[in-house]
Structure 1
Amino acid sequence: MQTEKVIDHIVNWLKDYANNAKVNGFVIGISGGIDSAVTSMLCAKTGLDLLCLEMPIHQPINHVSRGKEHIKQLKDNFANVKNTLVDLTPVFDQFKAEVSIIDNQATVDMALANTRARLRMTTLYYYAGLHGLLVAGTGNKIEDFGVGFFTKYGDGGVDLSPIADLTKSEVYDLAKMLGISSSIINAVPSDGLFGDDRSDEDQIGASYPELEWAMSMKENGKKLEDFEGRKREVFELFSKLNANNQHKMVPIPICEIPKNLK
C-alpha cells in the first residue's frame, strides 16, 4: 500500500465531501483506540473544524488516558481542533435504573453495551447539529463489511466513513505514518463497551490478522472444505458472522407496495 498517498487521498476526500455538503468540519468520538486516533488525525489534516468528544461511560482508566493523550497531540499540532468532555455515566446509570432487566445476564450485558454506543451516537449528532459538523465514523473494513463488529445505530450511525475501505493492518500502517502515539498503536484492540478489559479478539473469537485472511479467502471464492485445523475454524467463524450480520451491512429493507394496490 502507498501509505502516504492513501493518507492524502482520504484527507482530500474528506475536505471535498465537507465542502460540498457546506458544513464546517467534523465531530468524532475519541475512544483511546487506533481507529478513532487515525480517523481524527485524518480529519484534522483537512484544516476544517474538528471537535473531539470524550464520552466516558464507566470507562477503563487506560482508555481514558490514551484518549486524552491523543487529543493533546492533535491540539498541539492542529489549530483547528477543539475538544469537549461529556460524561455519559450518569445518563447510562439512569437508563439502567428505568428499564427492565431479565435474568439472562449475557443478553442484558450485550443490550447495555449497545446502549452505550447509541448514547454516544446521540451525543455526537447533538454536537454536530450545534456546530454544523459531520459525524465521522471510525469503522474499518473488517468491522464494517467483514464480521459486522459494530452497533447498529451506535458507532455504525455516522455521516461518512473515512477508513472503511482499509483493513486493520492497513489502519496500523497509516497510524505509524501519521505519528500516532505508541501507547495507542501497542494497545490491545477493545471496543470498551462492557466497562472491563475484554478485547475485540475475546469477543469475536479470532484476531484481526486471522479475520483479514478469512475475508481475503472468501473474496477469492474459497470454501470451508478447502481448510483444516485453525484455518478452518477461523474461516467458519468469519463466514457465520458475515452471514448473521448482513442486516448491518445492507440498506434497510423496504416493503414495496405493488402499483395495483395503490
Structure 2
Amino acid sequence: MGFKKKGLVIGVSGGIDSAVALTLAVQELGKDNVYGLLIPEKESAPSSTSLGAEICESLEISYEEVSISPILESLDIYDKKEQIIKRTCPEYDPRIHKTSLVLPDFLNQGLLNVPYIQLIKDGEAIAKYRLKANDYLELIGLQNVKQRSRMLVQYMCAEKMNYAVCGTTNKTELALGQFVKYGDGGVDIEPLADCYKTQIYALAKLLNVDEAIIQRPPSADTWSHFTSDEDFYWRMPIHVMDQLLYAQEHRLSVEVIEKNTELSRETIHKAQRHIDRMRNTTTYVRAAPPICYLGR
C-alpha cells in the first residue's frame, strides 16, 4: 500500500457503503489484511451490529465490537440531547418514546427546510415538533460527537496494528457534504468517493452483498428511532438525487432531466437550488484547513 501500512481497518455499520468497501478491500488485500470494527452505542439499531457481524464472518475477516456509549456518557451527550428534546416536545417521555430528526419531503413541500423532532411510540409516529435554530445546531453538534468518537476508535485500532483507516463516503455524500468533519470524513483512503450512491447499490449486487444489507435504508444511525438519510438529509428518493447530481456534473439539459426523473421543470429548478444550497453550506466540510501565516 502507498501508506506503507500492513492493511486496512474499516468501521462496519451494517449498511451498504461499509459492506461494499469491506468486500472490495478483502478482494484486493486478502482477508488477513482487513480488520472490521463494529462501533455501536446505546441508540444504535440492533441490526447495525448483527448485519455488520454477519458480513465480517461471511468474508472471514477478524473483527471486534467496541461500544462508544461510555465516551458519550462521559461527555454528557445523552443527557444534553434529552434536555433539548424535552423543552421542544412537552409530551416526550424517554421511557415510552423514541425520537428522530426529520426534514420536510422536498418533492411535496419544496424548498421549505425546517427541522422537526418526531416522537415515535410502538413504532408509530405520534407527534412532530418544530426545532428552534439554536436547538437544532446544538443537537447536530451533539450527534456529530458520535461520528467523531467512532473515528477515534478506528484510529486507535489502526495505529496499534500499523493499518490505514478506510472510509466509506460515496460520491453523493461527498458532493453534498454529507459527512462529519474529523468524523467519518477523517480517514486515510476513500475507495467509494467516485461512485454515486445508486452505483454503490449496483456494486453491492455485483459483489453478492447480503440482500438484507442492500434493502436496509441508509442512515447515520445516531437516533433512537432509525432515521433514513432520505428522511433527514436528501429529502427525496436517492435515485432522483443522483440523477440531479449527475446532470449537474455532466451539464445535461433540463429536457433530459425531465425524462430521467419524471419531475416537472419547475420542481427540477427548485431541486437544483436545494442542491446548490447544500453544497454552499457544506463547503467548509470538504475544504482543507487554511494555512494562516502570522505577520509581525
Fold similarity call, TM over 0.5: yes
| 1:244 CA drift (Å) | 0.9
What corresponds to 1:6 in structure 2? Answer: none
Instruction: Verify: 1:127 aligned to 2:157, yes or no.
Output: yes
| 1:222 CA drift (Å) | 6.8
Amino acid at match of 1:125: Y
Instruction: Verify: 1:186 aligned to 2:215, yes or no.
Output: yes
What corresponds to 1:41 in structure 2? Answer: 23
Q: What is the CA deviation profile of residues 7-37 of structure 1, one whole-angstrom value per residue up to 9, with x for unaligned ones?
A: xxxxxxxxxxx2x322110001000100000
Aligned-partner Cα distance in 2 for 1:250–1:215: 19
| 1:133 CA drift (Å) | 0.3
Q: Which moved more, 1:33-42 or 1:241-250?
A: 241-250
Q: Give structure 1 stretches of 5+ with no counterpart.
A: 1-17, 76-80
SS of structure 2 residue aligned to 1:115: helix
Instruction: Verify: 1:64 aligned to 2:49, yes or no.
Output: yes
Asked if the contact 1:190–1:200 (Cα under 8 Å) also holds between the matched residues in 2, the reply is yes
Q: Give structure 2 stretches of 5+ with no counterpart.
A: 85-133, 258-263
Q: Give me the CA root mean square deviation.
A: 2.4
Aligned-partner Cα distance in 2 for 1:126–1:116: 16
Aligned-partner Cα distance in 2 for 1:62–1:249: 30
What corresponds to 1:177 in structure 2? Answer: 206
SS of structure 2 residue aligned to 1:27: strand
Q: What is the number of residues matched between the two proteins?
A: 234
Q: What is the CA deviation profile of residues 9-67 of structure 1, one whole-angstrom value per residue up to 9, with x for unaligned ones?
A: xxxxxxxxx2x322110001000100000001111112251110011012111222221
Asked if the contact 1:32–1:64 (Cα under 8 Å) also holds between the matched residues in 2, the reply is yes
| 1:181 CA drift (Å) | 0.1
Give the TM-score normalised by structure 2: 0.73
Asked if the contact 2:9–2:157 (Cα under 8 Å) also holds between the matched residues in 1, the reply is yes
Asked if the contact 2:40–2:48 (Cα under 8 Å) also holds between the matched residues in 1, the reply is no
Q: Which moved more, 1:214-223 or 1:110-119?
A: 214-223
| 1:217 CA drift (Å) | 2.5
Asked if the contact 1:206–1:234 (Cα under 8 Å) also holds between the matched residues in 2, the reply is no
Instruction: Verify: 1:208 aligned to 2:238, yes or no.
Output: yes
What corresponds to 1:51 in structure 2? Answer: 35
SS of structure 2 residue aligned to 1:171: helix
What corresponds to 2:4 in structure 1? Answer: 22
**Matches of residues 97-246 of structure 1 in structure 2 within 5 Å?**
103=84, 104-144=134-174, 146-204=175-233, 205-221=235-251, 228-246=265-283
Question: Percent identity of the aligned residues?
Answer: 29
Aligned-partner Cα distance in 2 for 1:228–1:64: 43
Give the TM-score normalised by structure 1: 0.82
Aligned-partner Cα distance in 2 for 1:223–1:249: 27
Q: Which moved more, 1:247-256 or 1:176-185?
A: 247-256
